[in-house]
Structure 1
Amino acid sequence: MRKRETTSDVFLIGAGIMSATLGTLLKELVPEWKITVFEKLSKTGEESSNEWNNAGTGHAALCELNYTVEKPDGSVDISKAIKINEQFQISMQFWSYLVKNRLIHNPQDFIMPLPHMSLVQGEQNIEFLKKRFEALTNNPLFQGMEFSEDPKKLMEWIPLIMQDRSTDEPIAATKIDSGTDVNFGALTRMLFAHLESKDVQLNHNHSVLDIKRTNDGLWKLKVRNLESGMVEHHTAKFVFIGGGGGSLHLLQKSGIPEGKHIGGFPVSGIFMVCNNPAVVEQHHAKVYGKAKVGAPPMSVPHLDTRFIDNKKSLLFGPFAGFSPKFLKTGSVFDLVTSVKPYNLLTMLAAGAKEMSLTKYLIQQVMLSKEQRMEELREFIPNAKSEDWDLVVAGQRVQVIKDTEVGGKGTLQFGTEVITAEDGSIAALLGASPGASTAVHVMLEIMKKCFPQHINEWEPKIKEMIPSYGLSLMENPDLLRRIHHSTAETLGLTEKEPVFS
């Protein structure tokens, strides 16, 4: 039998939200380019993008306290919050463009309006929250945020959390109604359905075994068809590796020097899901707390209303778990095989530095359900064990690399893009805020990888993203117009939805 061989302009590895976003942008900009997608699983959006494998928060730094840091002088640095908020606004504009132009439909199937809140206890934390509130509300991006430490007002905002709560320790919260719950799994499936209608070839059950540079500067992929067992060879000018935790191994196989001295450490997430509809109905917000002293940023506890399959759910977490797998569907040898001679010292340095993280993970893994319930009761004082089930969420691979600031083996808590010097290949690594900032990240990749086209693409990019190249914070009139337009197009009202 003759081996299957194809040639494309672009390969997208992994059928998650990142590949879906890059593919959709490119199809709008250069519809004649041939795009081919390879996905190891039988469906799109089944790993990190799946709605049960992430928190579903539209990360805009409205409630996430780890994006605002208290400086030694007591002031609050909001620069990271501004950056993430602006990046999320870019995603909202692009989604709005897609809906307006009927490229995707029924936005309520992937995005819902939902208040975002920060909740703290104790005088010292309340003082921090006040300073954070004052710093943010002086910025047009965070207009509409409210602060309260009045138990009566908090009972209106979060009755489930305030009910039966002891008044011994002071408590305070901020609330902003422009937050969102985003079903990235549903959005991923919508985008790929659109791409398939535009002749993008989506290959499920195809595992990329190897990536090699050819003598003429192209990239050749060795791919196994998991249904037939046949090994195929495919060639393209540009490759995007968007395989979640699986991206690191593929980046290493590419052999590009930019992929050296980078390692990864897998962390799995566990959430508690409420199975009692009466309890679910008493809460309507995403409420983020503060990570405990010594805990990593990924451990920030939050109580989330979620909308999945047109049903309201309630989740609490995350609790960290450990598996050597880099993907939920990965291999127990993923971590070991990612250690190479060129990143061994980086990995060893991280191991020596991150003893507190190791200790934290061991403690988390050893928690019983009742111990997890005790942590939940810090949010819901009267929570009953029988009302909550444990669900294992997705695997995240935290990037380890050598940095000027942190030195050798620094653990990175965020999203990292690695590109070859000539822009012919790019890989996405890391975790949150990830999916929420996908459009911004993909635009940055296009600038780096297609500099020869970016000027001619700019008018179309501005049509899709009106604020492209501008700071919304510095253009409050444009910000107001965009807020109004995206809210109207995406159906983001402040009313709580009613499901039949």
Structure 2
Amino acid sequence: MVGFDTDILLIGGGVMSVTLASLIHQLDSSRSITLVEQGDQLAGESSDAWNNAGTGHAGYCELNYTPANRDGSVSIERALAINEKFELSLQYWSALVEQGLLPAPENFIRPVPHLSWVQGTKARDFLRARHKALNTHPLFQDMEFSDQPDTLTDWLPLIHGARTAFEPAAATRVGHGSDVNFGALTRLLGRSLAQHNACDIQLQCQVTRLERQADGWRVRLQNLKTGEQRTLSSRFVFIGAGGAALPLLQKAGVPEIRGYGGFPVSGLWLACKDEHMALAHNAKVYSQAPVGAPPMSVPHLDTRFINGKAALLFGPFAGFTTRFLKHGGLLDLVRSVRGDNLKPLLDVAAHNWPLTRYLIKEALSPKSARLGELARFINQPDPEQWQLVRAGQRVQIIKPNAAGRGSLEFGTEVVSTQDRSLAALLGASPGASTCVSAMLDVIERCLPELVQGQNRQTLASLIPSYGQSLQQDTRLLADIRNYTLHTLGLNTGAEQTQNERSLYA
């Protein structure tokens, strides 16, 4: 192939693709970048504000990132890793704000404290052990623990303050947590890229075929408005299409995903748009998942800022689905079955029947049952205030393990071809919060020249901790935290909490 229509082709218009486009442009503005999205706007699927938790996942409140061990200790390695990855995102967003490439931070990120809240003696003891294990680490030194009723009432006025009788309860709190509107962030980044001619963004454009060439890829596209078809050649392709990533990889015929399958999960929120309640709560409160529930069903009561307005979201309520996208087809799961992934799919179906049964039961649950779950957090919730809102779809990874049996994975994974001409992101949580770390992984694997020489210095100016360990360098961590919390306005969380609650009172 003599020439290419574009150097970089990005498939999918979510936060991952626009982050990758932004990073590449910062490191080498001479490269042409094209992004295609089948929806009529960016961030219409997994990145949309109603389709994800909006929590700046940093391991502060998500108990499933810190499992208890049989000896009573708590494993904190995953929480530490996720926290450090989120710090990369905060640094990059801060740099873009300072450059004027992103607007005022409140357009996409707000300070909202992160809390874990549990009931019962065993759960309280676990939370205390978790706090002790995390709090000794510099990344989590700002985490507070309490099992005192007065403190819990102050931290959780809608939850603890509304109750008259309790089991033993406890909570941890980090005041500089955040609520991130990833839909707004994606669209703002996309707008900035388009205004600076950094990326050609084509909406309502669907990929129908991917063919490997000797030195790149030829991709067939269809305009969903006109039906017109055309081909586009590219040196490198990234697939950041959420649940559609696996079918696209199958179309590409890459051997690296042999045996991979998808386990789709739907979601629902209970949403309350009473701004007074949302501002009085002003927290993201995560608790423990019911027995048999998947990790994405950890119940949480979140203050969210969507389209400039505060709201409360409770859930998510996961359910079984056969769609790979929120606007996908009912046959998505069936069409993804191949000879190479049939056995892993059957293995997971056989060994995870309780999970599948749980998801089917949840999908058929009435609103009253969901309000019953909410009643664990808020006494006697008013059914008129809470409405069911459909969330997005997730497709968890199924792949062969070391023994050749199918294994259901609950994290994210970057897959790349041996010749480094194609990469894709599969999976879900923690997802969007670690978008900068994930896309740096893609660049390091497939475009390594962009993180060498002068480019590495440029990257270090954008992300000061790049290539260094915040887990080990406490001075660097302190400097970076001071910089990002100030630049993004996240150091006002404690003051804002008190002011907004006093207004509500």
Distance of 1:95 and 1:357 partners within structure 2:
37
Q: Tell me which residue corresponds to 1:496.
A: 496
Q: Deviations over 1:263-302 (max 9, x none)?
A: 0011011000014344334311000001122221111000
Gap regions ≥5 residues in structure 2: none
Change (3 A) 1:293 1:407: farther
Q: Tell me which residue corresponds to 1:12.
A: 10
Distance of 1:48 and 1:78 partners within structure 2:
27
TM-score, length basis structure 2: 0.95
Q: Tell me which residue corresponds to 1:161.
A: 159
Change (3 A) 1:281 1:114: closer
Match of 1:177 among 170, 175, 178: 175
Listed as ranges, the matches of 1:284-295 within 5 Å are 284-295=282-293
> What's the Cα RMSD here?
1.6
SS of the equivalent of 1:282 reads: helix
TM-score, length basis structure 1: 0.96
Q: Tell me which residue corresponds to 1:441.
A: 438
Match of 1:312 among 310, 313, 332: 310
Distance of 1:327 and 1:296 partners within structure 2:
19
Listed as ranges, the matches of 1:46-445 within 5 Å are 46-199=44-197, 200-214=199-213, 216-404=214-402, 408-445=405-442
Q: Deviations over 1:140-190 (max 9, x none)?
A: 001111111111111111111013424241111111101100000010011
Distance of 1:37 and 1:78 partners within structure 2:
37
SS of the equivalent of 2:225 reads: coil
Change (3 A) 1:146 1:388: same
More deviation, 38-47/268-277: 268-277
Gap regions ≥5 residues in structure 1: none
Q: Deviations over 1:10-47 (max 9, x none)?
A: 00001110000000000001101010111001111111
By how many angstroms is 1:395 displaced? 0.4
Q: Deviations over 1:440-481 (max 9, x none)?
A: 001111111023443132111111110011110101111011
Is the CA contact (8 Å cut-off) linking 2:275 and 2:309 kept in structure 1?
no
Is the CA contact (8 Å cut-off) linking 1:222 and 1:234 kept in structure 2?
yes
Distance of 2:21 and 2:449 partners within structure 1:
18
What is the total number of aligned residue pairs between the two structures?
494
SS of the equivalent of 2:176 reads: coil
Q: Deviations over 1:42-92 (max 9, x none)?
A: 111111111111010000000000000111211111000000000000000
Is the CA contact (8 Å cut-off) linking 1:163 and 1:381 kept in structure 2?
no
SS of the equivalent of 2:201 reads: strand
Is the CA contact (8 Å cut-off) linking 1:210 and 1:253 kept in structure 2?
yes
SS of the equivalent of 1:367 reads: coil
By how many angstroms is 1:496 displaced? 2.3
Q: Deviations over 1:470-499 (max 9, x none)?
A: 110101111011001111111212232889
Is the CA contact (8 Å cut-off) linking 1:164 and 1:382 kept in structure 2?
no
Q: Deviations over 1:302-353 (max 9, x none)?
A: 0000011221110100101232110111111110000011111111111111
Is the CA contact (8 Å cut-off) linking 2:65 and 2:79 kept in structure 1?
yes
Match of 1:32 among 7, 30, 33: 30
Q: Which amino acid counterpart does residue 362 of structure 1 have in structure 2? A: I
Distance of 1:53 and 1:371 partners within structure 2:
21
Q: Deviations over 1:196-248 (max 9, x none)?
A: 1232111001000010112x221000110112111110000000000111111
Q: Which amino acid counterpart does residue 58 of structure 2 have in structure 1? A: A
Distance of 2:449 and 2:310 partners within structure 1:
46
